[in-house]
């Protein structure tokens, strides 16, 4: 039984304690099924550690969005050398909207993995 690595578990949105159970179900770009599970189906970890716990992930998501917009702005400027605010506004707002579901997921995952109360426990890990 080989344990899933930290980055692999984070990239595949797995539970931080067992690295086996999925934190989300459904596709990130599906409007109907973009939901996170309340409890890990594998180890029983309750993901929302305390009421309002995931509000902090909004700030992480904001940081992701700013970082992506800056990268996109640098790439856009290096490709076009344009100074039109309309071009930057349209492209950057489009990128922020398109990346919002991904930022939603990975900001929650980053928060879960940074929480000191939740540690990886190899006893819960089972390869699937």
State the residues that interact with Zn ion by CB under 5 A: 15, 17-18, 21, 40, 42-43, 45
The first and second tokens of residue 39, run together, are 């409890």
36/24 Cα distance (integer angstroms): 4
- Comparing CB distances to Zn ion, the nearer of 4 and 42 is 42
CA torsion angle 121 113 57 67 (round to 10): -160
Report the residue number, 18 or 60, with the smaller CB distance to Zn ion: 18
Closest distance of CB 97 from Zn ion, Å: 31
Residue placing its CB nearer to Zn ion in the complex, 15 or 65: 15
Dist. CA 78–CA 56, nearest whole Å = 34
Integer-rounded Cα radius of gyration of the chain: 18
C-alpha 1/C-alpha 42 separation (Å) is 16
Strand partners, 35: 25
Nearest approach, Cβ of 15 to Zn ion (angstroms)?
3
CB of 120 to Zn ion, least distance (A): 10
**In the complex, minimum distance from the CB of residue 40 to Zn ion, in angstroms, rounded to a whole number:** 3
């Amino acid at each position: 039984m080989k344990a899933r690595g930290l980055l692999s578990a984070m990239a595949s949105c797995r539970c931080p304690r067992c690295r086996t159970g999925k934190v989300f179900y459904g596709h990130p770009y599906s409007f109907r099924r973009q939901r996170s599970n309340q409890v890990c189906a594998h180890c029983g970890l309750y993901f929302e550690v305390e009421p309002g716990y995931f509000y902090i992930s909004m700030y992480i998501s904001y940081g992701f969005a700013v970082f992506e917009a800056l990268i996109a702005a640098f790439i856009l400027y290096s490709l076009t050398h344009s100074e039109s605010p309309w071009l930057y506004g349209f492209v950057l707002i489009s990128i922020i909207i398109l990346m919002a579901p991904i930022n939603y997921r990975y900001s929650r995952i980053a928060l879960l993995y940074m929480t000191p109360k939740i540690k990886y426990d190899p006893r819960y890990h089972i390869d699937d």
